[in-house]
Structure 1
Amino acid sequence: MICAEVTIYPLKHNNPESVINNSIRVLQNENVDYKVGSISTHLHGREEDVWRSLKEMFDTAQEAGEVNMVVTISNAAD
């Protein structure tokens, strides 16, 4: 099991909230536990599921244009 803390930063976008919300929404179809915070989203699950979820989040966010994604990964127990 690994944990990830991820933040999406849409660049040059008129409605950054929609980009962020759409990228978080894809987690509903992934096999990870997640909690949305005020600044970042925390994911927890099997390693391959967390990595796949992060890729899905990024792919969805970049559909709207330029985006930065900041991720911290940990394999430490909660």
Structure 2
Amino acid sequence: MKICAEVSLYPQKTNKASEIINDSLEAIKTSGVEYEVGSMSTHLHGEEGAVWRSLMTMFNTADKEGEVSMVVTVTNSAHN
């Protein structure tokens, strides 16, 4: 099954937020999911397991730098 996710990462208590977000996106480049980066969120779409793993990878990558909040919306409706 294919799913779509909209994800926003919010690194806390840092002056390197953009760097942390970019590192998290770099970490999923070879994940097999397609993604589109927007100004406030990133849209992921692909096979269910790959999308869930990518979300976890993004969070874990950001977590290495300190506190982070992540907001995710997931849907199983078709991506246009």
TM-score normalised by L of structure 2: 0.94
* Partner residue in 2 for 1:33: 34
After the TM superposition, list the runs of 4 or more consecutive aligned residues in structure 1 that deviate by more than 3 angstroms. Answer: none
Gap runs ≥5 in structure 1: none
Alignment of 1:4-15 (within 5 A): 4-15=5-16
Quote how far apart the aligned CAs of 1:6 are.
0.3
Quote how far apart the aligned CAs of 1:14 are.
1.4
Aligned residues: 78
The residue identity in structure 1 corresponding to 2:26 is: R
Gap runs ≥5 in structure 2: none
Q: Which whole-Å deviations, capped at 9, do the CAs of 1:46-72 have from their partners, x for residues lacking one?
A: 000000000000000000000000000
Quote how far apart the aligned CAs of 1:15 are.
1.2
Quote how far apart the aligned CAs of 1:26 are.
1.1
Give RMSD over aligned pairs.
0.6
More helix by share: 1
TM-score normalised by L of structure 1: 0.97
